[in-house]
Amino acid sequence: MATIVGVSPGRYLAYGYHPSGNIQPTEFDVPPESDASVQLHLAGKREHLFEFVSSQGSPLSGATVSIKSDSAMISNHRPVDGLGKVTLQVAENSNRSAVTVWAESQMLWGGCVEIGNGDRTRVTLPPLSTGILRITRPLQVRGNPLLVSDQGAVFLASDLLRWRRTTITERESEDVIEVTGLAAGRYRAVLDQGFLLDTARVVQAACAGAISFDDPSAGTLTPGGVLELKWPAPK
């Protein structure tokens, strides 16, 4: 138990790590001129089997799958086997997770997957469709830049930069990040300094469809097309 004194009234987010698992972020309010208490609940992990097949129904091979759980700070990635199967860790109380699948630096698919209470989940990938996503980021901007798709996929800047096909052009006052191999769809650039340590709440919102795609920070990436976004979004 820990006690913190002198905290200003307002809403706060409490969370932390534990060697045996992950702690789910918990919001709480500190009222004026009175005490507040919050109880953190350790979110356990479980192994879950995923099966990935192509749009033609054949098992996916030679690909890597990344997952971000929607209810705790769990993020991991592993390659699939020759039958398109991979076992990943998900939070015990997780019903949905943001999943991305890529091979040879090209994203094959990214979206929100319903986990359920069973021991396995089967995912059928749509046909490949690619374009170019071009992101302009001022050098002085600080925070945790994120990219969210209308299918529920969530990318950190590090997710985008890990692809060998990604290029960065440095200018005097900004960087231009060009990502190829993203699936067609609607995307939004998000710069939120409230998510500096985890993306659990962003994944929750993306999977629930609670992130708007009708503002200047969003646009549609078409097959073979180019989508230009700015971080942060124009006012």
Count of other CB atoms within 10 angstroms of residue 221? 22
CATH of region 45-124:
2.60.40.10
Strands 174-180 and 167-170: antiparallel
State the Cα–Cα distance between residues 48 and 116, nearest whole angstrom. 10
- The structure tokens listed for 20 are 């045996």
- DSSP per-residue string spanning 19-50: TTEEEPPEEEEE-TTS-------EE-EEEEEE
37-93 tens-digit pLDDT: 887 766 677 889 999 998 889 999 899 998 877 666 567 889 999 999 999 888 777
> What would the pLDDT profile of 143-169 be if each residue is shown by its tens digit?
667 889 998 888 877 778 777 788 989
pTM above 0.85, yes or no: no
pLDDT tens column, 81-129: 999 999 988 877 777 888 889 887 777 888 888 886 778 899 998 887 7
Q: Give residue 220's pLDDT.
A: 94
**Under 8 Å CB-to-CB from 57, ≥6 apart: which residues?**
124
Q: Where are the domains of the chain?
A: 10-42, 45-124, 132-230
pLDDT of residue 156: 79
Q: Identify the pLDDT of residue 210.
A: 85
Residue 164, CB half-sphere, CA atoms under 13 Å: how many?
Answer: 5
Per DSSP, the three-state class of 63 is coil
Please give the Cα distance from 149 to 206 (Å, whole number).
Answer: 8
Asked whether residue 19 carries a pLDDT value surpassing 60, the answer given is no
- Alpha carbons within 13 A on the beta-carbon side of 53: 8
pLDDT per residue over 205-216, tens digit each? Answer: 888 888 888 887
The rounded distance, in Å, linking the Cα atoms of 1 and 6 is: 17
